[in-house]
Amino acid sequence: MFIATRDLTFAQGRFLMMGSVVALVAFLVITLSGLSAGLVKANISGLMALPATHIAFEGTDHPGYRNTMVERYMWEGWAGQEGVLHAEPLGHTVFNARTVDGKPLEIALWGIGPGSVIDPVVTEGEGLGGIENGVVITRDLLDDSLKIGDTIFLDRVLTELKVVGILHESRNIGHLPVIFAPLRKWQEATYGPPGGPPPGEKLPDIVFDFVSVVLLQLEEGVDIAALDEENETTTFDRLGFFAASTGYKSEVQSVQMIQSLLFVISAVVIGAFFSIWTIQRTKEIGLIKALGASNAYVLKDALGQAILIIVLGTLAGLAGMFWFYTAVKDTELPFMLQSSTITNSIIMLLVAGTFGAVMSIRRITQVDPIIALGRDR
Amino acid sequence: MSLKVEFVSLVFGDGDEQVKALDNVSMDLQPGQLMAVLGPSGAGKSSLLAVCGGLQTPTSGKIWIGDTDITGASKSALTRIRQQQIGFVFQQSNLLSSLTAIDQLLLLIHMRGKRPEKADRERATKLLDEVGMSHRLNRRPSELSGGERQRVGIARAFMTNPTLLLVDEPTSMLDQNRGKQIVELLVRECHEYNVATLMVTHDQGILQTADRVVDISDGNLIERT
């Protein structure tokens, strides 16, 4: 890179400008990837945190969390199988609710067995099971000024829940914050009469024989299809049970389309820059060839310079992203900083940018050295 | 023989629009000989340089540089020949804007796939000293006058010990005084390094310094005796 390095030193302003454009594109790509991932996570952070390899739904064609009902014999059927480390019933219902002050909430109530493997470890207060209507809320509900000891009223079913614990993390499903309740309380609210049974009466046992899904921890090699058939369930792996969340698939597809477009734009923008730069250098390239440089020599020099700018610009964009993350991490803006997301974005950006540069720089091979004589033929 | 041109024609276009830039031209040059080619614009001077420098393939005829027939050579072979056997001095010096004077010369070494070594640096410094540029080694073209740039161009042309030097109107962008100095410098270097030199020029003042003078008109060469 004899000429390339000297060029960079000589025309610092020009290359700084080009590098800035690359940095801005990189910042855009990486930050949007983080925002996209954050948006997707906001949909399914509750599911992502579940210690499950699989989830079994009611055995229908396209089960979702809102239209699945699993009976006791199904989850007990899973629990007794070889290779099934855990089979925990989980209830999911979306409720409109209110705080004591009348502030409206829309929440996803999850019923889980206190002390089970899916019982969350609270950051503050107590866990489930201390009182029959004690619930654990998650970080996103703290913005609604909820605190330990507060009461939450579930509309329509006239059920009161008491906040006994707080998990200082986001747990969402379908962009709704999750509230963890004891499984029996969830079953009462979901299947029982509004306000509970009449005084002096108990709810029939059948109310407690239904849940929404079964959370599974399976060893390798379990014949899932056979167990699904036996227990009349439809089981999904992690990607599958993420996709079962409302809107997840379309969000992911939208996000993937945005990311794909961004990479195409990156290639085009960077390619356009290097195209213009190559055109401006046409006379010099002709001169270098007239002096005896091969196409390979000139290409190597130019491409080396382009890659250097792309790499440095990308690193600058990455630094910008970290600054952005620092600025937004304690706000409501969904942003996920994940090493795999960042690494993939950087690799794709380097590939797209290099492709763009190669497509523009290859015109170097067409420059006729005769132009060094100042006459075009 | 450093350069031998045998019955070379260069024709552009066809039919009624055919243009004969060179018409059955023959000539030769010995090592250390300086031949001046004079002629008006459009006479074929640049075409002669272009075919001798492997930048243009003649329509017919043959050209040898040293023992190498360059006429039917591939593009990559011509590149190698230019790299190793031909030096160019251009009309507008044609220096690379980002390279210092000494780097303009060292580039020719780097092009050959070699990292410039101490010996290469010493040779470059010596050549620049010979052309009166030893005090401007680390200046870039934007920091040099027209005459200084041309001197660097001349030093660059000799860096690789060429068999043939092709010079394209070296004084056209310079005033008379500086032009005279450049021509004297070229003549001295060409004799010093025993390089066959073909110089295209408008400048009649060259007549006293050239070993041979040819006139070119409508693609035809006529040597003056």
Query: How is chain B split into domains, by residue range?
Result: 3-223
pLDDT for residue A297:
93
What percent of chain B shows pLDDT beyond 70? 100
Q: Is A5 on the interface with B (CB under 8 A)?
A: no
Between CA B119 and CA B81 the distance in angstroms is 23
Query: DSSP secondary structure string, B102-119?
Result: HHHHHHHHHHTT----HH
Between CA B225 and CA B205 the distance in angstroms is 17
- The two counts, helices (H) then strands (E), for chain B are 6, 10
Q: Which of A338-342, A353-357, B149-153 has the highest mean pLDDT?
A: B149-153
Give the residue from A373, A375, A377 with the most B CB atoms within 10 Å of its CB, the best one to mutate: A373
Between CA B172 and CA B64 the distance in angstroms is 29
> Please, which pLDDT band fits residue B58 given cuts at 50, 70 and 90?
very high
**Mean of the pLDDT values across residues B109-120?**
91
3-class secondary-structure state, position B194: coil
Between CA B131 and CA B181 the distance in angstroms is 10
- Please say if the pLDDT value at position A377 is more than 60: no
pLDDT for residue A375:
56
3-class secondary-structure state, position B10: strand
Cβ–Cβ gap A292/B110 under 8 Å:
no
- Please say if the pLDDT value at position A272 is more than 90: no
> Please, which pLDDT band fits residue A338 given cuts at 50, 70 and 90?
confident
Reading the block at residue B21, the tokens are 């830039």
* Chain B stretch 121-150, residues whose beta carbon is closer than 8 A to a beta carbon of chain A: 140
Residue B111 C-alpha, separation from nearest chain A C-alpha, in angstroms: 6
Report the residue from A3, A10, A373 with minimal CB separation from B55.
A373
Q: Answer yes or no: pTM beyond 0.90.
A: no
**Mean of the pLDDT values across residues B44-60?**
91
Query: DSSP secondary structure string, A246-276?
Result: TTHHHHHHHHHHHHHHHHHHHHHHHHHHHHH
Q: Largest Cα–Cα distance of chain B, in whole Å?
A: 57
Residue from B107, B100, B80 nearest B162 by CA: B80
* Chain A stretch 273-332, residues whose beta carbon is closer than 8 A to a beta carbon of chain B: 284, 287-294, 297
3-class secondary-structure state, position A31: helix
Residue B137: partners with Cβ closer than 8 Å, 6 or more residues away: B100, B101, B102, B125, B128
Q: Is A115 on the interface with B (CB under 8 A)?
A: no
**Mean of the pLDDT values across residues A177-185?**
95
Give me the interface pTM, i.e. the ipTM.
0.91
Q: Output the CA torsion sign for B128, B131, B135, B139.
A: negative
Q: What residues of B are in contact with residue A2 (Cβ under 8 Å)?
A: 103, 106-107, 110
**Chain B: residue whose CA lies nearest to A373:** B90
Cβ–Cβ gap A373/B82 under 8 Å:
no
Cβ–Cβ gap B97/A10 under 8 Å:
yes
pLDDT for residue A43:
87
**Mean of the pLDDT values across residues B155-161?**
91
**Chain B: residue whose CA lies nearest to A294:** B79
Between CA A120 and CA A226 the distance in angstroms is 31
Top pLDDT among B42 and A130 is at A130
Which fold, B3-223? Rossmann fold (3.40.50)
pLDDT for residue A376:
46
Q: What residues of A are in contact with residue B58 (Cβ under 8 Å)?
A: none
Give the residue from A283, A287, A291 with the most B CB atoms within 10 Å of its CB, the best one to mutate: A291
Residue A278 C-alpha, separation from nearest chain B C-alpha, in angstroms: 14
Between CA B192 and CA B157 the distance in angstroms is 14
State the helix-helix crossing angle for A12-48 and A2-10, rounded to 10 degrees: 100
Reading the block at residue A328, the tokens are 């937004």
Check if the beta carbon of residue A137 is closer than 8 Å to that of residue A130.
no
Domain ranges of chain A: 2-44+249-373, 60-231
